[in-house]
Structure 1
Amino acid sequence: MLGFTTAQLFGLLPLVAGTILMNGQEKVTSYPNTKFDLDATSFTSYAANASEISYQGRWDSKHVSWWSAPGLKFGFTGSTVAISFGNWTSDGVLVGYRIGGMDWQFTNVTASGTHLFVSKDTAGVSETWPYNPLTFELRVTNWAYGVQIDQVHVAKGEKLVKVSPASRRLEVIGDSLASGMYTSYEGLSSWGYALGAGLGDTEYSITAYPGICAADQDCWGNPRGQMHQWFYTSDTSYRASVMYGDKPEPWNFCKHPAADIVVINIGTNDQNTANNVSTASYIDALTKLIEGVHGKWPRAQVVVMSLWLGFYQAGNSYFPSASQGFEKEIYAMVEYFNSDAYLTAPVVWDGTKNKTTVLSTRADPFVHYFNTTGILQHNDIGPQWHPTDVGAIKVASHLIQYIRLTFGWELRATGPEVLHDTLYWNDEQNY
């Protein structure tokens, strides 16, 4: 999308304290300092590969997090949780954390440091219902940065407990719109996160990164497109190039449960003339991406979203851009996937250039079209051409209802907070 510099996009800028404006007013960024010196004699420690730790989203073999809103979750006994972070942690990255379904809390964590997240004074630590044992969850907020888990610590004599996974799985594939660029808490304010967390009883992964195209070419400094990168563990960030160069770890689909539903919203960067992606190249890339999803997860249902490109003022009102990006072509591609031409000889792709396989068994229709037209108004798009917090909530809410109506998924939100700092109200009667 438009409106960001290459340095901002790839995390070349250091993480320093600065002024962040929200609606023209300074946002408070002085989060509690949780760093402390670990006395190993007072703790029971678990290595990053402990079976009790459930990693959410994409993490590599070094236990480094990637893409948008990756996290971890585990149960624990006692009233103490600390985490030691490895040297591949982005120094100062903001993480959200909480006990059970309590409100998100935030802190900046340090590379090669240990942080105390739960103590006897933490809200909810004295309550054992309905989460028994207590559960701890951590999510990385920023799409360009990440953490490396070294060890997890609980009080001496206490233990970690594996949490049962949710019964449904959702994958979001996209770019800056899905990853939460310019929303208040980035990944934790994105529509991708709000969709996954808002459904309830759903494991979710947001494989999205700002500036990336569907087409496998350089777009806004991203060296590869999603038709290639989705098959790999790491994203296209600068830190990924430092760690892996041009040889990232393939994502091991066999070791991770398949998604039930895959939502794809990508093409805004392909549509931008600055990236010189032809319509044919974009549709070919999006087609291969869907073929790749079908090859890895044959039973997954795929939802392809139409694109939106913002609003302009005309006269005394606002109107959506005349072209929302490849509308007819995207719809025609969805129809192709649901035609006998594809279903009788389904093609799958493994991410290797020009390597496709035609399956011998007939496929059931699995590709669906979600039309975003009419959901957003001009003030749902921020000055940087991306959804505001409210815009992201609207997109997620419509998608949640679409999934309920199309696939019969029950809405299982039970009360725990999803989006932080969005509870705005007026408590003054006389105004």
Structure 2
Amino acid sequence: MRLSITAAVLWTSVASATILQNGQVRPNNYPSTAIPIISSYNSSWHSYPPSAPELSYKGRWDDKYISWWSAPGLKFGFQAEQVAISFGNYTSDGVLVAYRLDGQDWMLTNVTASSTQLLVTPSTAGYNLTTPINATQTLELRVTNWAYGVQIQCVHLSGGAAKLIKIPNYTRNMELIGDSLSAGQYATYEGISSYSWGLMYGLGNVEFSITAFPGDCLHEGRCYDPAGIPDWDFAAHPAADITVINLGTNDNNTSNNVTATQFYNSYINLINEIHTRWPQSQIIILSLWSGFAQVGNTWQQGSGFLNEIQNVVKYFNNGSLNERGECPSCFVYYFNTTGIIEHNDIGPLYHPTDVGHVKLASHLMQYVKLTFGWIFEQTGPEVQHETLYWNDQPDY
């Protein structure tokens, strides 16, 4: 696993699965927001290029303003009556995006290349509920898929003295490095249903990036490694205060022939690379749940590379305990996933269900709170969109 990811295959994914909820099919015919292309000569609109300093890009974007990996986003403040975004010709066809105004619930719409989407009007939920009226409001957009997503071409505002406003970044930063399990593959809304999203958005007031894609291996050159991705410029982004790593499930696949020694050495090399670039980052590495097998009359969780992962933690932390049993110089932490996810939390395609993702995210949130003293600062806006799994029928 290289941090400066370079690579020749572009995967796209659009959330389109049929979901049954209380005996009803959950609709996925999301409202169309498409409008005619806004001409640069239309005096009723103020248009801003993707390089406008007021625009804050979240997660992984390249120098063509193309989004990559899981749940990348765009966020900005504005004073206007209407907000529209034009998407460039590198946008995946029909990709599902989530967007919201201030702290309102997420809304969903499918976008495509060379289109313009009208996302905010005076009838949008939450419009002008700020105090005072006409104060700055915030629009946040997230790409739901875990691969090549959208290209931002232009942001448009209309109405009165319309203007963009820069929203300050949060002071806390997190990075999560993983494979399809962390990217949200096969979850209802993919990236924004993943435990990665639930963990970092659930903490609240955290800037985050999810560098996770299906097929990734920790050991170099053994598994699918997508190509065509520009190197990540670490110097252009704040260092992660906490880095979470969940890698090894693909390495543990016997068809990839990764040995225990190769896996162990690759893990040490990855952590050394991270700590060289981000010397203050605290690193959490997850044990692998590696699926479930039926044993006798019950189920048993797998444990791929269990000793190797624990030995990686020992490698970095041995000799660091003081006389009180504390480890002031430790920066690598082991998170044991055993018992959090049960066999029915894994879907037919070997990935966590939405419930499995929520359970894992909740435990990780508590672990971060107890280990590092981070308090939960999410105070109202929804995190896992449309995860409504309670029964509301009196007769069934």
Which TM-score applies when normalising by structure 2?
0.89
* Structure 2 counterparts to residues 259-338 of structure 1, below 5 A: 259-321=240-302, 324-338=303-317
Matching residue within 333, 344, 357 for 1:392: 357
Conserved? CA contact 1:93–1:145, under 8 Å: no
Query: CA deviation digits over 1:258-281, x for unaligned, max 9?
Result: 110000000000000011111111
Query: CA deviation digits over 1:9-39, x for unaligned, max 9?
Result: 95378x6x96635589755321111110125
Quote the Cα distance in structure 1 between the aligned partners of 2:86 and 2:279: 38
Task: Report runs of 4+ in structure 1 exceeding 6 Å deviation.
Answer: none
Quote the Cα distance in structure 2 between the aligned partners of 1:11 and 1:22: 27
Quote the Cα distance in structure 1 between the aligned partners of 2:215 and 2:276: 26
Quote the Cα distance in structure 2 between the aligned partners of 1:92 and 1:254: 33
Equivalent position of 1:356 in the other structure: none
List runs of 5+ in structure 1 lacking aligned partners. 1-8, 224-235, 342-362
- Distance change >3 Å, CA 132–CA 406, structure 1 → 2: farther
Conserved? CA contact 1:143–1:187, under 8 Å: yes
* Structure 2 counterparts to residues 176-325 of structure 1, below 5 A: 176-219=180-223, 222-223=224-225, 236=226, 241=227, 244=228, 248-321=229-302, 324-325=303-304
Quote the Cα distance in structure 2 between the aligned partners of 1:27 and 1:313: 32
Quote the Cα distance in structure 2 between the aligned partners of 1:389 and 1:427: 19
Does structure 1 residue 33 correspond to structure 2 residue 37? no
AA matched with 2:383: V
| The 10-residue stretch of structure 1 (73-82 or 181-190) with the greater mean CA deviation from structure 2 | 73-82
1 or 2, which has the higher helix percentage?
A: 1
Equivalent position of 1:365 in the other structure: 330
Matching residue within 134, 137, 159 for 2:137: 134
Quote the Cα distance in structure 1 between the aligned partners of 2:29 and 2:148: 19
Query: CA deviation digits over 1:170-201, x for unaligned, max 9?
Result: 10000011100110000000000100100011
Shift of 1:282: 1.2
Shift of 1:296: 0.8
Matching residue within 358, 367, 373 for 1:402: 367
Conserved? CA contact 1:19–1:27, under 8 Å: no
AA matched with 1:111: A
Query: CA deviation digits over 1:19-62, x for unaligned, max 9?
Result: 63558975532111111012532211111011101100011111
Equivalent position of 1:99 in the other structure: 101
Equivalent position of 1:339 in the other structure: 318
- Distance change >3 Å, CA 19–CA 325, structure 1 → 2: closer
Give the aligned CA root-mean-square deviation in angstroms.
2.2
Q: What number of residue pairs does the alignment pair up?
A: 375
- Distance change >3 Å, CA 279–CA 416, structure 1 → 2: same
Query: CA deviation digits over 1:226-263, x for unaligned, max 9?
Result: xxxxxxxxxx2xxxx4xx3xxx4221111111110000
SS at 1:288 equivalent = helix
Equivalent position of 1:55 in the other structure: 57
Equivalent position of 2:4 in the other structure: none
Shift of 1:380: 0.8
SS at 1:406 equivalent = helix
SS at 1:83 equivalent = strand
Equivalent position of 1:3 in the other structure: none
Shift of 1:145: 3.1
Conserved? CA contact 2:263–2:308, under 8 Å: no
Shift of 1:80: 1.1
Quote the Cα distance in structure 2 between the aligned partners of 1:42 and 1:30: 31
Conserved? CA contact 2:56–2:74, under 8 Å: yes
Shift of 1:123: 0.5
Quote the Cα distance in structure 1 between the aligned partners of 2:33 and 2:268: 46
Matching residue within 82, 85, 89 for 2:84: 82
Quote the Cα distance in structure 1 between the aligned partners of 2:289 and 2:131: 43
Does structure 1 residue 377 correspond to structure 2 residue 358? no
Which TM-score applies when normalising by structure 1?
0.82
